Amino acid sequence: MRTRSLAFLYLSTLVVVGCDLAGPEYIETREVTVGPTLARCYGVGPQSCMVVDGGLFYDGIEGFDYEPGYDYRLRIGKYDPWEGNEPPQDAGQYAYRLIEQLEKTPAPSTPATLSLAPTRVTCVRSDDFCLVVDGELYDDLITSFEYEAGDHYVLDANLYRDGRYVLSEVASRTRAAGAEGEITIDRHRVECDDGHPGYCKVVNGAPYRGEIVGFQPAHDYDYRLRVERFDMFPEGMTGAPYVPAYGYRWLETLERTTGS
């Protein structure tokens, strides 16, 4: 009798586990490809997205352990995690779950050495800041790299067919340094006036496309700041004409006044 009871308990456990592994009822299932890099995208704010079937994928895939540098082929299921109810604010109506990983293969790439400027500059294709890579604006992510403004970087990376990079290692990182001085910042932004789209801060009466490291202005104020001014590029290197030759690090707010 005891043997039969144990057998029944074992079979019952298998049934329960099997139901749990089956997951939710899927609205649809499909095969997708996932690319080797992450891409810059915008939801509630800036974020990173996987590249699924060649396009930005704003959701996660439950159960999928993404590793950059590989091409994937997956079978995934789409379901409604809210069971027909209204989702919470900023949450998507649907979710996705991995059913099966069909393929994972190393993606072809080319080694690259990248020089990054110590501040970002206003992009020419979006109202945001872009990295400056080898003197040019780079309007995307470098997968696995966490950028902190104020330092010169040299990176060893791999370049993939989609034009994006995955970091291999930070070859060097040095603090950008220079002379101290004062600047003024107008509360208004103006067209950058350098032959490329974008709106710039007004620094010392002229449009300035760069960011100011460590400075968080409030709206509707003019400022006078004590700053450290440093070169954007190592000696002997120059950037694109719309990239400033120098950057600023905020040290102290000397004056803040309501703009006229």
Give the residue from 157, 172, 148 showing the smallest Cα distance to 234. Answer: 172
Whether the pLDDT of residue 231 is over 70: the answer is yes
> Where do the domains of the chain lie?
21-106, 110-175, 178-258
**Single pTM value for the model:** 0.84
Cα separation, 249 vs 149, whole angstroms: 9
What pLDDT score was predicted for residue 21?
45
Cα separation, 36 vs 164, whole angstroms: 9
Which amino acid, one-letter code, is at 43? Answer: G
Q: Which two tokens stand for residue 184?
A: 């003024």
Lowest mean pLDDT among 42-46, 228-232, 235-239: 42-46
For the stretch 10-19, pLDDT in tens is: 333 333 333 3
Q: How confident is the model at residue 26 (pLDDT cuts 50, 70, 90)?
A: very high
What pLDDT score was predicted for residue 3?
39
What pLDDT score was predicted for residue 88?
75
Lowest mean pLDDT among 82-86, 167-171, 253-257: 82-86
Mean pLDDT score, 124-147: 93
What pLDDT score was predicted for residue 125?
78
What pLDDT score was predicted for residue 82?
82
Q: How confident is the model at residue 5 (pLDDT cuts 50, 70, 90)?
A: very low
Contact 245, 233 (CB under 8 A): yes
Q: How confident is the model at residue 194 (pLDDT cuts 50, 70, 90)?
A: confident
Whether the pLDDT of residue 259 is over 80: the answer is no
Q: Reduce the secondary structure of the chain to three states and give it as a string.
A: CHHHHHHHHHHHHHHHHHHHHHCCCCCEEEEEEEEEEEEEEECCCEEEEEEECCEEECCCCECCCCCCCEEEEEEEEEECCCCCCCCCCCCCCCEEEEEEEEEEEECCEEEEEEEECCCCEECCCCCCEEEEECCEEECCCEECCCCCCCEEEEEEEEEECCCCEEEEEEEEEEECCEEEEEEEEEEEEEECCCCCCCEEEEECCEEECECEECCCCCCCEEEEEEEEEEECCCCCCCCCCCCCCEEEEEEEEEEEEECC
For the stretch 73-126, pLDDT in tens is: 999 999 999 877 777 776 678 999 999 999 999 999 999 999 999 999 999 877
